[in-house]
Amino acid sequence: MRPRPEEEGRQEGAGDHLDVVIVGAGLSGVGAAYRLQTECPDRSYAILESRDTMGGTWDLFRYPGVRSDSDMFTLGYPFKPWREAKSIADGPSILSYIKETAAEFGIDEKIRYGTRVLSADWSTDEALWTLTLEQDGVRRTLTCEFLYSCAGYYNYEQPYAPTFPGIDSFAGEVVHPQFWPEDLDYTGKKVVIIGSGATAVTLVPSMAEQASHVTMLQRSPTWISAVPSRDKLADKIRAALPADAAHRVVRTKNILFTIGLYQFCQRQPERARKLFTSLSTRILKDEQLVKEHFTPSYNPWDQRLCAVPDADLFKAIKKGTADVVTDHIDEFVPEGIRLNSGEVLEADIVVTATGLQLLAFGGIQPHVDGAKVDLTEQFVWRGAMMTGVPNFAVCIGYTNASWTLRADLTSRLVCKVLNHMDSNDYAAVVPQPQGELQERPLLDLASGYVQRSINEFPRQGDRSPWLVRQNYIIDAATTMRTNLSKTLKPTARSAVRRPGPAVVPEPARAPELEVAS
């Protein structure tokens, strides 16, 4: 069995050493903590969160109407049934769900807020990570045996912000959704939203309720599909079955539908194009409008599909409170934005919903024995661990389905790896390919936010278990059955030199004097 930290001279009570460190207290981090304390109950752990509250994305983003475009039966945890009425939930509801989960299972007591990981250094000799942390401006270190990054792959501090000519001349206000001002009043004002992704299609109908008019300005169209915010079939199932059973049934139903739709789009792109354009035309009652502004040049699911609950975007357009313009920006002018066509879009407020930037592992740059790991030369194993970096895992969600589906699989796999190490008395494991791999991009999407940064990430290979599949059914059937001994190179605990408890020499004793009787 694995020696406990106190047996190795580590002060667990002092908090300077943990078995496992999870980085990020968002949806993934809380789920990882649940799996860890359930499946590896003897492991000590903590969640390090750089912000002062949990929730990750769902606490950070505060723009009007923020919501998920995945249904909550699959975005939610499999161990915590979603009980709210709406299947497509708003940000505050999702945040409340995360907090409720953390409190219910005691995970909230394991979170260390205001703790940023500045560096992570692996020692092969000691089989330990040394993390340099910053808390309230003070730096300290923490050691752990296993590091699990659940911070996602977005840069939450620096969004993608292209330079627009003449923006300084604009007389109105420019805001980015990632840093939404709490006191922004757009009542009765003209708003232009630059972008056509998930954030833009969320903002338009929400802001149109109070603004005098909202225009979505896009360079090119995005595939958009109207979906019901409430799943009527799920309601019937939940009414007929106990909560846990209903959750499993609805979750399975939605997984099968999502995968089926994705496969349909990939295998029959022309039929998929006709399907989405016909559905949009049926709602908007304007074939020319759909052709000009809602029919992209790429095929469905070459980029992520945008979902609009209850067709709210289309309804705002039909109502006349919003419209869509497809053109390129020439320059900003005091009264708004001049387009390449010469038209000027007047605006009091411009929202730059231009997207996010990718950032590997929440900005953690791993080092091994003092040398910086070149991520671009590494391959990802089972979508979870990485060559060249022992005892390190990352949480990467699906691009074509709910993030949590793969996140939960990954957390269960991490627990399987930890238990495998314990049962074999291993101090460390690292994925190692058998034979040469043909590299592929980690994320196979044509979206701009992916293409801008994906070359800075590790790669996936051309065969299992080095493929990062976008198919939950296959992953669910194979991930937990993987032969860990075949692809993980171990280091025996007996080969590791850990610093032991300090030995304090006994004070020298004065020689005894023989006293004559």
7-16, 210-219, 334-343: the lowest-pLDDT one: 7-16
> Is 429 buried (19+), middle (13-18) or exposed (0-12) by CB count in 10 A?
buried
Does the domain at 167-352 match CATH 3.40.50.1100? Answer given as no
Domain with CATH 3.50.50.60 in the chain: 5-156+357-495, 167-352
Given a cut of 70, whether residue 118 has pLDDT beyond it is yes
> Is 342 buried (19+), middle (13-18) or exposed (0-12) by CB count in 10 A?
exposed
> Is 13 buried (19+), middle (13-18) or exposed (0-12) by CB count in 10 A?
exposed
**Angle in degrees, 0-180, between the axes of helices 243-267 and 269-284, rounded to the nearest 10:** 110
Q: What is the pTM of this model?
A: 0.90
Using one digit for the tens of pLDDT, what is the confidence trace for 175-229? 999 899 999 999 999 999 999 999 999 999 999 999 999 999 999 999 999 999 9
In sequence order, the 6+-apart residues with CB closer than 8 A to the CB of 299 are: 265, 269, 272, 273
Predicted confidence band at 13 (pLDDT cuts at 50, 70, 90)?
very low
Residue type, 465: P
- From residue 123, how far is each of 10, 48, 148, 498 by CA, in Å? 16, 21, 16, 10
pLDDT in the model for residue 363: 84
Compute the average pLDDT of residues 8-35.
Answer: 80
Using one digit for the tens of pLDDT, what is the confidence trace for 369-404? 999 999 989 999 999 999 999 999 999 888 888 999
DSSP, collapsed to helix, strand or coil, labels residue 224 as strand
Are 429 and 281 in contact, with CB atoms under 8 Å apart? no
In sequence order, the 6+-apart residues with CB closer than 8 A to the CB of 314 are: 226, 280, 283, 284, 308
Predicted confidence band at 160 (pLDDT cuts at 50, 70, 90)?
confident
Using one digit for the tens of pLDDT, what is the confidence trace for 442-461? 877 656 666 666 777 889 99
Can you say whether the dihedral through the CA atoms of 310, 311, 313, 315 is positive or negative?
A: negative
Compute the average pLDDT of residues 500-514.
Answer: 43
Peptide bond into 465 cis (omega under 30): yes
Are 225 and 306 in contact, with CB atoms under 8 Å apart? yes
Predicted confidence band at 515 (pLDDT cuts at 50, 70, 90)?
very low
Question: Right CATH number for 5-156+357-495 from 3.50.50.60, 3.30.1370.60, 1.10.10.10, 3.40.50.620?
Answer: 3.50.50.60
